Amino acid sequence: MLISLAHAAEGAPAGPDLMGFLPLIVIFVLFYFMLVRPQMKKAKEQKTMIEALQKGDEVTTAGGVLGKIVKVGENYVSLEVAANVVMNVQKQAIQMVLPKGTIKDL
């Protein structure tokens, strides 16, 4: 009698359908457009800015040092931070290029 009831039970429910995965897909799409894509865009802009550095540009480093580029090497840049004071920094440390004349205004 108990054995016949066990055979009469229904099978396992069907596998999940597309509607079950839809919220997960939406989360991944939002994650891409809100986090990954803007970071890739910013990294690309930073790379083009570093490649375009030239002598005479006024820049700010990641450490907050303001200086004028006096020499551009392959991996390093020489910055004049004061009269006759030159320091070498890595190109990746350059945060932004300032408009011409910014250092004189300070």
Give backbone dihedrals phi and psi of 42, rounded to 5 degrees, phi first.
Answer: -65, -40
What pLDDT score was predicted for residue 105? 76
The per-residue pLDDT string of the chain (106 residues; one tens digit each, 9 = 90 and over) reads 555 555 555 655 655 677 888 999 999 999 999 999 999 999 999 999 999 999 999 999 999 999 999 999 999 999 999 999 999 999 999 999 999 988 887 6
The phi, psi pair for 86, rounded to 5°, reads -120, 135
Residue 93 CB neighbour total at 10 angstroms: 16
- CB-count burial class (<10 Å; 0-12, 13-18, 19+) for 80: middle
pLDDT value of position 103: 87
pLDDT at residue 94 in the model: 96
**Domain range list for the chain:** 18-52, 54-106
Best CA proximity match to 89, nearest among 101, 75, 104, 70? 75
54-106 under CATH 2.30.30, yes or no: yes
